[in-house]
Structure 1
Amino acid sequence: MEHLYTLTIVIPAYNMERYIARAIESLLAIDGRYWADFEILVINDGSTDLTAEMTEACMEEFSGAPIRLISKENGGHGSAINCGIAEAKGAYFKVLDGDDWVDRLAFEALLDALRDIEVDMVVTDFTRRIPAYGQSIHEQPVDSSLARIVQSVLPTKRLPMHSLTYKTALLQEHQFRLTEGMYYVDVEYSLFPMQYVTSWLYLSLNVYQYLFGREGQSVTLVSLVKNAAHHLQVLENVFEFRQNLSDSPLKAMTDDTIASMLEVQEMINPHSEQKTELSKQTRYLREIYNF
């Protein structure tokens, strides 16, 4: 398949009127000569606020910029990403959540690199921005000694969604789809496509700027407790995925993911209104999968 762009950036957006302009503007703040290299797909996932209008205002402000607004019925984060995968016209594919942004120089460097490589996945750094504490934590997902050397063996630790850029064909040709109507499917996004990855490259570029801890965010303790059943369902999906791996090298990464998710699940279960049932289901998963 011939691609029109080097990279597709998909922005899943549900009620992001306060943040969406920053996300888009961070991408378009780069040197204009790069605009031909990438497209921005804003997937408006049934927002009830001014997300669509704010996106349209950016499209008017940056006339000629490679932005498409796709509005759809609400289906959750996974549904928005699925829509982006189907619509993508870039050789590579990256997700940027609507309340996050990119570093200008690092994003330019990523585009430069993507033009000249042929791998299934690219891994980059990200920064966790925590405004409530005035903190910025630089996250390096893999060892720096691996930088710019094409790898065939996957890391043993799960790589966060913020660090990943996949080859679009890897997602489209395998008809990869995330679970819809569910929180925490970023775990599926950062794990399940790995079964198709045969080559990958780490670039020490601090591309993604991750806003952490805002009110209403799914990773806050309040949201985790409220959506504990969703977290458990995704955990069960990961366990099922593991069952089909046999002796795959991906099993180490999957086990790391499960261990982390189990720790979170067992922390939030006692605070949920469904604590008895959720605790029972969690124990059952441990037993039947011998974990």
Structure 2
Amino acid sequence: MEKEGREFKITDIQTELVDNKILTIAVPAYNAAKFLPRSLEPFTELDQAAKESLEVIIVNDGSKDNTAEIAQQYVDKYPEMFKVVNKENGGHGSGVNYGMQHGVGMYYYVLDADDWLNPQALTLTLDKLKAMRKAFLQDSSSPLPDLLLVDYTYENIEEGKNRISLKRQVPVEKFFQFHESKSFTQGTYLTMHSMIYRRQILHDASLVLPEHCFYVDNLLAYIPLPYCRQIYYLPVELYHYEVGRDDQSVNENNFIKRIDQQIRVTKLLTQAYHLYSDLPGKENQKIRQYLMHYLAAMYTVSVVHLIMIDTPEAKEKIRDLWYFLQTFDKKMYAAVRRSLPNVLLNLPLGNKAIGMFYHVVKKIFKFN
């Protein structure tokens, strides 16, 4: 018999309306001097009203280059918008944590220091959030989003641009709950780049990202989602995510070197929920299926890279990973193993077939 579902606390929204800042954007930055001006300059194109409603926290994560000096130049010139904190190195997750814990904006978003936002799309996003807050202040029955969804674009150095739109998955420019969304098929899911959370939601979810670990953006995209009651999708092309560089964590060679960190994040996602008992019943079917779909993708990505490593140690890590899921929740284990990519991974494939499978998985899950 399934236990009763987890209670997802939602804090009284009135406590969040005391500050003028509508949005906090955290920019974790480690040795980012080469890219930081490209990341920060679009903010300077905003009008004064937008600048005053926005908080951009540049978290210098123990950089050894002149990241701190570049960040301070923007703070000096636009003190109403930029803040900088210089801290010991703790990894990407520590920068995201700092913004969550110390930001004052009603909403929260993360921008990697080597990516950038479209200023026109950002203006539209800020205007929408401010308009909804104003409507709520005038009439408390007017809804406010726990999660604002936007589009983003892959800026692939070799393959060009690819906009990721959610128009086929969710209602456009209207409030909805997750069960009103359409099915998310293989390769379609929400990412950090598309998700602007009400900051209190992250606190309600007790989200704290691990330090000194890559791939933690998956935790940000996954764990708070069941806490989001009111969702709104604004189809603006906001985030520009550059991929294809050799120095990136999602580069194939780097990913393989850091496979233990991918495994760590996959296990943390697993432990976040007993999906069938924490989210029981038909009313939670859509979000339960979506989170299972996301979790299965994480296992696929982990296992396919371990197969590519093809060492006795890697094979043992595959066995350990499946055993971990099986002992945590047998029902979740069965569902993940039944997902099509993981079924295919069980077949006796040769190295050539695994290589072909890898490139198919890469296209589907867009992890590189």
The equivalences for 1:69-148 within 5 A come to 69-117=84-132, 118-133=144-159, 135-143=160-168, 146-148=171-173
* Contact 1:11–1:41 (8 Å) recurs in 2: yes
The equivalences for 1:1-291 within 5 A come to 1=15, 2-60=18-76, 62-117=77-132, 118-133=144-159, 135-143=160-168, 146-153=171-178, 155=181, 157=184, 158-243=189-274, 245-247=278-280, 248-249=284-285, 250-272=287-309, 274-285=313-324, 287-288=326-327, 289-290=333-334, 291=336
Residues 261 and 87 of structure 1: is their aligned pair in 2 closer, same or farther, counting only changes over 3 Å?
same
Which amino acid is the alignment partner of residue 122 of structure 1? Answer: L
Which amino acid is the alignment partner of residue 67 of structure 2? Answer: T
Distance 2:170 2:31 in 1: 40
Distance 1:73 1:142 in 2: 41
Deviation of 1:264 (Å): 1.1
SS of the equivalent of 2:246 reads coil
Deviation of 1:258 (Å): 1.5
Partner deviation per Cα, 1:210-230 (whole Å, 9 max, x = no partner): 111222211111121011111
* Contact 1:6–1:90 (8 Å) recurs in 2: yes
Residues 65 and 25 of structure 1: is their aligned pair in 2 closer, same or farther, counting only changes over 3 Å?
farther
Deviation of 1:146 (Å): 1.0
Distance 1:47 1:212 in 2: 22
* Contact 1:21–1:58 (8 Å) recurs in 2: no
Q: For structure 1, which segment, 30-39 or 99-108, has the greater mean C-alpha deviation from structure 2 after superposition?
A: 30-39
Distance 2:318 2:205 in 1: 35
Distance 2:150 2:317 in 1: 36
Which amino acid is the alignment partner of residue 173 of structure 2? Answer: R
Q: For structure 1, which segment, 230-239 or 122-131, has the greater mean C-alpha deviation from structure 2 after superposition?
A: 230-239
- Paired residues, what number? 289
Task: From the two aligned structures, give the one with the greater strand fraction.
Answer: 1
Partner deviation per Cα, 1:108-142 (whole Å, 9 max, x = no partner): 00000011221100000001001233x01011134
Partner deviation per Cα, 1:190-229 (whole Å, 9 max, x = no partner): 0101121101000000011111122221111112101111
Q: Max radius of gyration: which structure?
A: 2
* Identical amino acids, percent of aligned pairs: 26
SS of the equivalent of 2:158 reads helix
Deviation of 1:279 (Å): 1.9
* Contact 1:242–1:251 (8 Å) recurs in 2: no
* Contact 2:307–2:314 (8 Å) recurs in 1: yes
* Contact 1:41–1:70 (8 Å) recurs in 2: yes
Which amino acid is the alignment partner of residue 270 of structure 2? Answer: F
Which amino acid is the alignment partner of residue 9 of structure 1? Answer: I
Distance 1:237 1:144 in 2: 26
Deviation of 1:271 (Å): 4.0
Distance 2:325 2:202 in 1: 30
- Which structure 2 segments of 5+ residues have no match? 1-14, 133-143, 328-332, 337-368
CA root-mean-square deviation:
1.9
